[in-house]
Amino acid sequence: MPTRKRAKGSPVRAVPARETETLEEPVAIYPGSFDPITNGHIDIIRRALRVFPRVTVAVAYNPNKDAAMFTPAERVAMIRQAFADVGERVVADSFTGLLVDYAERIGAQVLIRGLRAVSDFEYEFQMTMMNRHLKPKIETVFMMAGEQYFYTSSRLVKEVATFGGDVRNLVPEFVLQRFGERITKKAGEKRV
């Protein structure tokens, strides 16, 4: 604990904490579409748990523009299934609107963003600066994707799976099963 320099014979006093400092553990959000959650997402979330006591994985969606393969409720369920082993350290949720408004609503101070390549950084840097403009007290932490997931994105995984490609090492087994069910269902709908 820091102390002030004292004159001979005077008692030692701790420097008081500033009123703005808090002893609460930071709440972190990892936002994304997670359509579906991939092993790359899971890697970043598990590594984030080494830094933060709890991570909220927030499924972002726009009900007017969402052309996702899985509904927000299905995506939240898959996230919960992927992290059943860590209990309440990972909270899965969904939201609409501005991320920083959602973060403020749940008391989060940190946004976690995954980076795969330099091209990700440019977009993420712009978003970070806008978020900082809107809510200066919310920080962004960037985490690099694991080398085996540099090329992995939900969009690419969906596209490959839709055309029958092998995505076994890119998503958990239960996601692979849901892909099969969804692709079979969509193929049946097209035939009708």
User: Residue 153 is which amino acid?
Assistant: S
* pTM recorded for the entire structure: 0.82
Whether 116 is catalytic is: yes
Nearest-angstrom CA–CA distance, 187 and 64: 24
Is 5 known to be catalytic?
no
Closest by CA to 51, choosing from 137, 127, 139, is 139
Pick the catalytic residue: 46, 47, 89, 116? Answer: 116
Residue of 41, 75, 113, 158 marked catalytic: 41
Q: 2 is written with which tokens? A: 């820091």
Determine the longest span between alpha carbons in the chain, in angstroms. 91
Catalytic residue among 75, 154, 158, 178: 154
- Amino acid at site 66: D
- List the one residue out of 13, 11, 9 whose CA is nearest residue 1: 13
C-alpha 48/C-alpha 135 separation (Å) is 22
Clarify whether 41 is annotated catalytic. Answer: yes
Residue 3 has a pLDDT of: 47
Give me the residues paired with residue 30 across strands: 57
Beta partners for 90?
55
Q: How many helices (H) does the chain have, and how many strands (E)?
A: 6, 5
Instruction: Quote the pLDDT of residue 164.
Output: 87
In contact, 51 and 25? CB cutoff 8 Å: no
pLDDT at 20: 46
Active-site hit among 4, 18, 50, 65: 65
Q: Domains of the chain, with CATH numbers?
A: 28-151 (3.40.50.620)
Q: Over the chain (192 residues), what is each successive 10-residue block's mean pLDDT? A: 50 48 76 95 96 96 80 96 96 96 96 88 92 96 90 89 90 92 74 58
Is residue 168 part of the annotated active site? The answer reads: no
